Amino acid sequence: MQCKWTQSYVVFLLTLSLPSASYGSHSFWLLSTYIRGKTQFPKFSYTTTLDDITVGYYNSKTYIPRGNTTNEDDVIDSEYIKGVSDYMYNSFLRRAALLRQDSQNDSLDVYQTLVVCELLDSDKPGKMIVADAARGSTTDELSYINNTFTYTVAVNIKQELIKPHLEKFKQDFAKTFYPVCITTLKNYLKKRRDQRNRKVTPNITLTQKANSDSGESRVSCLATGFYPRHINLTLFRDGQPVSDHEITGGDLLPNGDGTYQMRKSLEISADKHKYSCSVTHLSLDNKLIIER
């Protein structure tokens, strides 16, 4: 049972693809999970995230702040929690019927909703997205920006069955969910100011490792242990930036302590070129250059 729940949870996170917030903007994420069946997990729970900081967890009874020991009733509305719970419950039952799930069997059914809203760097409310998933697969997604709704169905759900619920949800979305999400985001930006403004300097290494079989070498620049996540890492050859098509890596990856890492590598033949790596980050007063 536990394995099936975990698999559904992971599959949903992998199948759902949402654009990340742009530099200078902020986002609030709420990932809700409703479970039907015997399990050690709460029937309804969710986690809340400010940008990349997990700020809270709701366990069907209590909202528990993470990374902060103070009460946060002034940040997140308890009525909003109830509204999310009610929406989740009704949506789960509706999706279960539409997907022809047998409500009498002993299987463990999982339904999830991901809510994301964004505040732009101009302090202007940006987009909001609500994506639903059932049985480990994204079912539908609704986005809202500039008073315009876009609805996408990812599975074979008859439109005539979902349309009445969709129209009602659009009204609730514009009048309640969207303004509450933006307000909660602004509240968290104030409450967690110290956390989101922290700066950790990256540890940077530039290495060159030879491959005895091919006779070639790999030059790699690694920046790790930095926060916030925005970083500019560039490999140079004789003082000139190496073309992107020659570079491998470059993905931003999380570390276990809440910091990040990024590595960029270049395959080279035996040559006498000089390689260096430059890093620009908010924790650095100036561009940091490492040479070999």
Task: Please provide the DSSP assignment of the chain as one string.
Answer: -HHHHHHHHHHHHHH---PPPPTT-EEEEEEEEEEESS-SS-SEEEEEEETTEEEEEE-SS-EEESS--S--TTTS-HHHHHHHHHHHHHHHHHHHHHTT--TTS---EEEEEEEEEEE-TTS-EEEEEEEEEETTEEEEEEEEETTEEEEEE-S---HHHHHHHHHHHHHHIIIIIHHHHHHHHHHHHHHTHHHHT--BPPEEEEEEEE-TTTS-EEEEEEEEEEBSS--EEEEEETTEEPPGGGEEEEEEEE-TTS-EEEEEEEEE-S----EEEEEE-TT-SS-EEEE-
Q: Which among 19, 53, 57, 66 is positioned nearest to 229, based on CA atoms?
A: 53
Mean pLDDT of 19-31: 72
Lowest mean pLDDT of 1-5, 75-79, 94-98, 239-243, name the range. 1-5
Structure tokens at 278: 């430059």
Of 148 and 122, the one with more pLDDT: 148
28-32, 85-89, 193-197, 241-245, range with the lowest pLDDT: 85-89
Taking a C-beta distance cutoff of 8 angstroms, is the pair 41, 32 a contact?
no
Over range 126-150, report the average pLDDT: 84
Maximum CA extent, the chain: 71
41's tokens: 């997990």
Whether the pLDDT of residue 22 is over 80: the answer is: no
Structure confidence by residue, pLDDT tens digits, 223-234 = 999 999 899 999
Q: Which fold has domain 203-291?
A: Immunoglobulin-like (2.60.40)
Between 212 and 280, residue with greater pLDDT:
280
Question: Does pLDDT of 178 surpass 50?
Answer: yes
Least confident of 111-120, 160-169, 184-193, 216-225: 160-169
Query: What CATH number was assigned to the domain covering residues 2-196?
Result: 3.30.500.10
In tens, the pLDDT along 53-85 reads 888 888 877 888 887 766 777 888 777 777 777
Long-range contacts from 167-170, C-beta under 8 angstroms, 24+ separation:
169/87, 169/142, 170/142
Six token digits for residue 147:
């008073």
| pLDDT for residue 18 | 43
Reported as a single tens digit per residue, the pLDDT across 144-172 is 888 888 888 765 555 544 555 677 778 87
Supply the pLDDT for residue 290: 82
Structure tokens at 264: 């960029």
15 confidence band (pLDDT: 50, 70, 90)? very low
Domains 2-196 and 203-291 share a fold: no
Mean of pLDDT values over 116-139 = 84
Task: Pick the range with the lowest mean pLDDT from 81-85, 167-171, 198-202, 207-211.
Answer: 81-85
Query: Rounded to 5 degrees, what are φ and ψ at 62?
Result: -135, 140
Distance CA 126, CA 178 (A): 10
In the predicted structure, residue 142 carries a pLDDT above the cut 70: yes
Q: Give the pLDDT confidence score for residue 7 in this predicted structure.
A: 39
Q: What residue segments make up the domains of the chain, in order of their start?
A: 2-196, 203-291
CB 127 within 8 A of CB 133: no
pLDDT at 134: 76
Residue 263, pLDDT score:
96
Pick the residue with more confidence: 199 or 68?
Answer: 199
